[in-house]
Amino acid sequence: MKFNKRKVTSILIATSITITGFCLNSMNSYADEITTSTYENNTDNSKTNRCPCPGRRGSNFLRESMDELQEHGELTDEDIKNIDEYMDKERAKKNAEIKEEIYKYECEKIDAMVSQKVITKAKGDKLKSAVKENLDEFEAEMNSRGKENRKNNKSK
């Protein structure tokens, strides 16, 4: 039986792709199993109930660290208040930046629709106004959620 280089190469590539697929699938299954078992086994809302994955929000690490330092007497109530106020300002600034970027992006799409005569300029202006209002409501909701999360964390 005579093998040519193309056949051997294609067989090797197909085999390596199949093996890689099996490995990735088993790693994903294992990660899902760990996460699922963590959630199923911990129903008391303790800190161990949180996902051990690296995708966890970083603000929780800061809050947990602040709580630990406060428990050890290294941060005072005044320090915590100052940090919270600073974080409120930073969050509001970041939310405003995100809101502005989204608004610019949406306006570009609306302007393209107007230029391609999908909608009239008047309807485009009304649509921009509605987008602006919705973004304002979204920003206010996001800012209030941050404050609520902090209050909930303090009460735990």
Q: Quick check: is 62 in a domain?
A: no
The answer on 94 and 154 residing in a single domain is: yes
DSSP state letter for 75 = S
pLDDT higher than 70, residue 26: no
Establish if 61 belongs to a structural domain: no
| Tens digit of each residue's pLDDT (9 = 90 or more) over 125-144 | 999 999 999 988 887 887 77
Tell whether 86 and 154 lie within a shared domain.
yes
In a domain, 63, yes or no: no
pLDDT at residue 36 is higher than 60: no
Q: Contact, 139 vs 96, CB < 8 A?
A: yes
Same domain, 14 and 86: no
Is residue 33 located within the same domain as residue 85? no
| CA–CA separation, 111 and 5 (whole Å) | 55
pTM of the shown model: 0.48
136 occurs within a structural domain: yes
By the 8 A CB rule, do 138 and 96 touch?
Answer: no
Which residue range forms the structural domain that includes residue 11?
1-41+49-56
pLDDT-based confidence at 44, cuts 50/70/90?
Answer: very low
Q: How many CB atoms are closer than 10 A to CB 66?
A: 19
Q: Rounded distance, CA 44 to CA 15, Å?
A: 46
Does 66 reside within a domain?
A: no
The number of distinct structural domains making up the chain is 2
